[in-house]
Amino acid sequence: MSDSQQVPVLVAPRPYTVEVGPGLLSEVGPRLRQATPAGRATVVTDDIVAPRFARVVRESLSSAGFLASEVVVPAGETSKTWARAGLVLDAFAGAGLDRTDVVVALGGGVIGDLAGFAAAVFLRGIDLVQLPTTLLAQVDSSVGGKTGVDLDAGKNLAGAFKQPLFVLADTDTLSSLPQSEWSSGLAEVAKAGIIEGEDFLSWLEVSAEGLRSRQPSSIAEAVRRSVEFKARVVSADERESGLRECLNYGHTFGHAVEKVAGFGAVSHGIAVAEGIRFASRLAVDVIGAPVGFAHRQGHLLDVLEIPRIRLDLDPDALREAMSSDKKARSGLPRFVLADAPGSWRVTTVPDELLKRHIGDFVGVGASGEAGSDEEGLT
Ligand SMILES: NC(=O)c1ccc[n+]([C@@H]2O[C@H](COP(=O)([O-])OP(=O)(O)OC[C@H]3O[C@@H](n4cnc5c(N)ncnc54)[C@H](O)[C@@H]3O)[C@@H](O)[C@H]2O)c1
Pick 262 or 106 by higher pLDDT.
106
Residue nearest to ligand 1 atom 5, measured at CA: 141
Distance 134 CA to ligand 1 centre (A): 6
The answer to whether 357 is a known catalytic residue is no
CB burial of 144-176 (b: ≥16 within 10 Å; e: otherwise) equals bbbbbbbeeebbbeebeebbbbbbbbbbebbee
Does any ligand 1 atom lie closer than 6 A to the CB of residue 80?
yes
Mean pLDDT of 140-151: 96
Distance 349 CA to ligand 1 centre (A): 31
Average per-residue pLDDT in the chain?
93
Does any ligand 1 atom lie closer than 6 A to the CB of residue 144?
yes
The answer to whether 295 is a known catalytic residue is no
Strand partners of residue 346:
336
Does any ligand 1 atom lie closer than 6 A to the CB of residue 175?
no
The answer to whether 124 is a known catalytic residue is yes
Phi, psi angles (nearest 5°) of residue 181: -75, -30
Phi, psi angles (nearest 5°) of residue 72: -115, 125
The answer to whether 188 is a known catalytic residue is yes
Distance 113 CA to ligand 1 centre (A): 9
Nearest atom in ligand 1 to 47's CA: 37
Distance 150 CA to ligand 1 centre (A): 14
Does any ligand 1 atom lie closer than 6 A to the CB of residue 76?
yes
pLDDT band with cut points at 50, 70 and 90 for residue 266: very high
Does any ligand 1 atom lie closer than 6 A to the CB of residue 146?
yes
Distance 323 CA to ligand 1 centre (A): 25
Contact 101, 126 (CB under 8 A): yes
Residue type at 253 in one-letter notation: F
Contact 28, 46 (CB under 8 A): no
Residues 160-169 pLDDT 10s: 999 999 999 9
Please say if the pLDDT value at position 186 is more than 80.
Answer: yes
Beta-carbon contacts of 221 under 8 Å, excluding residues fewer than 6 positions away, are: 203, 207
Does any ligand 1 atom lie closer than 6 A to the CB of residue 184?
yes
Please say if the pLDDT value at position 378 is more than 80.
Answer: no
Which secondary structure element, helix H or strand E, spans residue 198, and what is its range? Answer: helix 198-212
Which residue among the candidates 255, 308, 319, 357 is catalytic per the annotation?
255
The answer to whether 255 is a known catalytic residue is yes
Please say if the pLDDT value at position 245 is more than 80.
Answer: yes
Please report the pLDDT score of residue 365 as a whole number: 52
The answer to whether 58 is a known catalytic residue is no
Nearest atom in ligand 1 to 137's CA: 16
Please report the pLDDT score of residue 377 as a whole number: 33
Please report the pLDDT score of residue 73 as a whole number: 98
The answer to whether 248 is a known catalytic residue is yes
Beta-carbon contacts of 131 under 8 Å, excluding residues fewer than 6 positions away, are: 24, 25, 28, 53, 57, 104, 105, 106, 107, 167, 168, 170
* 73-82, 114-123, 355-364: range with lowest mean pLDDT: 355-364
Beta-carbon contacts of 376 under 8 Å, excluding residues fewer than 6 positions away, are: 309, 310
The answer to whether 268 is a known catalytic residue is yes
Does any ligand 1 atom lie closer than 6 A to the CB of residue 113?
yes
Please say if the pLDDT value at position 14 is more than 70.
Answer: yes
Residue nearest to ligand 1 atom 12, measured at CA: 109
Does any ligand 1 atom lie closer than 6 A to the CB of residue 38?
no
Q: Tell me how long the chain is.
A: 378
Distance 142 CA to ligand 1 centre (A): 10
Nearest atom in ligand 1 to 111's CA: 19
pLDDT band with cut points at 50, 70 and 90 for residue 2: low
Q: What percent of the chain has pLDDT over 70?
A: 96
Distance 350 CA to ligand 1 centre (A): 34
3-state class of 77 per DSSP?
helix
- Model's pTM, two decimal places? 0.93
Strand partners of residue 21:
170
Residue 270: count of CB within 10 angstroms of its CB: 24
Residues 109-134 pLDDT 10s: 999 999 999 999 999 999 999 999 99
